[in-house]
Structure 1
């Protein structure tokens, strides 16, 4: 298991965490269409902000999601979705990122399961064409789904070495009728990335790992020896710091060599 943190604040607020721990960074800036349209400018900004860490830490990209629907009825919406998602993939290539996370984009009671599955597998298989030879993984994330059925059905159609599930445990706890353990049991062979944050089941709060009703340590113990990446998606920096300290004390992450050497 490899741990990343999601950038939900300015780089200056988390740079010391990236320097202290052997963790990667999942960049959320390019979920914005504004930043995607000016991607070269913002990539250069990132390089300056990360300084010596750029090229030394693992990177992932959180792709765009607002207003995008892979299973849309309207071909114009599908084209817009593909355009934005391709932009994010281009950013991942330029930044030598390991993966891109995309939302599944399904809203309950908007489309029937049957209708969604008539179009969505085709969308993703078309999207992957021409990308077979690079090392960038595509992780498809649950958000508002009330159960795991759709993602499981989708993965049966499109899963391969490149394409897998990003299980967001906070989204499951806030929106799903099935609990996290059931999702993990059903989707276990498809889960290659996870978003980790906590809440009390009433909303998508993105709290620290010890601040809600989920037992995050129990969840991580299930996957700690697997070939999987996990990203802490925690809004408040103080809660992120506390969560990383908990992960360190429980043996999920290590200090960077430079930090170890200074301590010695």
Structure 2
């Protein structure tokens, strides 16, 4: 399944969703003030999403700004859990059974092993009361390599916990090439964020607007993580349309 991220105004998104056989990755419930009055926000977006084409598949991106599940401060972790649980409740209200959350890894903040144990404890607790058919994807952002994420998935060993590989983040922030991440993580990858950049910053450009060899990367993903969903996190409408048309032309999706 291929999704597009909710990075454009709703009327522009609707037009694209009507033209292509794709789903929508909802980011509205990743924002703090929207979670502050959850009931009102759910009602608002339930009404707004009535305008989406009937049957549009949805996935949710969880909150992430200032939220660090690997924090050593119990009150910080409590706030993270509160925000994540609110977003989870919102996802259920839309019939969504998968969410993306960031690792929250901040290089050189804690010793890696200390951070890893905190994160393992957090996600074990979070997943404890979640149904087996609800999938959580953990996304790399500032992560320097794949090793901690690999250990996180393997040590928790939960069927509903997988990785969201953000190829643009890898390209911008990691000294290791995307191919190495894909080879190392393999079928742990259940979801992929696709966008391009020139390695100088996280630009969220179109698939061909940067120095990521996208055709080769997608071929490798199909080989090593064949069941992963893809989501285009492209912030410009023209670049997004060009990216979707390129995927159609290369028979990587249908229109």
Aligned match for 1:214, one of 212, 215, 238: 212
Partner of 1:200: 198
Partner of 2:247: 247
RMSD (CA atoms) = 1.5
After superposition, the C-alpha distances for 1:226-250 in whole angstroms (9 at most, x for unaligned) are 2111110011111111111111111
- Cα distance in 2 for partners of 1:19, 1:217 equals 25
In structure 1, stretches of 5+ residues that fail to align are 256-264
Aligned match for 1:173, one of 168, 171, 174: 171
Distance 1:157 1:55, change over 3 A: farther
SS at match of 1:49: helix
Partner of 2:5: 6
Partner of 1:237: 237
- Cα distance in 2 for partners of 1:106, 1:53 equals 35
Judge conservation of contact 1:15–1:50 (CA < 8 Å) in 2.
no
* Higher mean displacement: 104-113 or 223-232: 223-232
- Cα distance in 1 for partners of 2:23, 2:30 equals 18
CA shift for structure 1 position 43: 3.0
Distance 1:5 1:159, change over 3 A: farther
Judge conservation of contact 2:120–2:152 (CA < 8 Å) in 1.
yes
In structure 2, stretches of 5+ residues that fail to align are none
After superposition, the C-alpha distances for 1:101-155 in whole angstroms (9 at most, x for unaligned) are 000001000111111122111110000011134x221000000011111101111
- Cα distance in 2 for partners of 1:250, 1:83 equals 43
TM-score (norm: length of structure 1): 0.91
- Cα distance in 2 for partners of 1:45, 1:171 equals 32
- Cα distance in 2 for partners of 1:54, 1:30 equals 20
Aligned length: 253
Judge conservation of contact 1:58–1:98 (CA < 8 Å) in 2.
no
SS at match of 1:218: helix
Judge conservation of contact 1:63–1:85 (CA < 8 Å) in 2.
yes
